[in-house]
Amino acid sequence: MIGSDAGPFTIHFWAPTFKWCITIANIADLSRPVDKVSTPQQVAVTATGLIWSRYSFVITPVNYTLFSVNVFMAGSGLAQLWRKWEAGQLFA
């Protein structure tokens, strides 16, 4: 594990590790009032998660850690956008 192509001495390990901080913060924001959630920010979070989920399988080595964090990132963004939609504030 330590000496692998996606081990802790490579960017393939640290980028997804720090990206979890953004994802966890976005999940924590599910408790925020809907009017305080930014639609453009959540569109960006969702798009980033979807794009990088695909990219994680294109790069060498295939990075499953990057894939998992981006699936959660896209999911948390979609959950926030759904909350905005339900409250009728998506385009407000």
Q: Which pLDDT band, with edges at 50, 70 and 90, does 91 fall under?
A: confident
What pTM was computed for the model? Answer: 0.85
pLDDT in tens, 22-45: 999 999 999 999 999 999 999 999
Burial of 79 (0-12, 13-18, 19+ CB in 10 A): middle
Q: Which pLDDT band, with edges at 50, 70 and 90, does 62 fall under?
A: confident
> What is the signed CA dihedral for 82, 88, 90, 92, rounded to 10 degrees?
-160
| Distance in Å from the first CA to the final CA of the chain | 48
Q: Which pLDDT band, with edges at 50, 70 and 90, does 8 fall under?
A: low
Mean pLDDT of the chain: 89
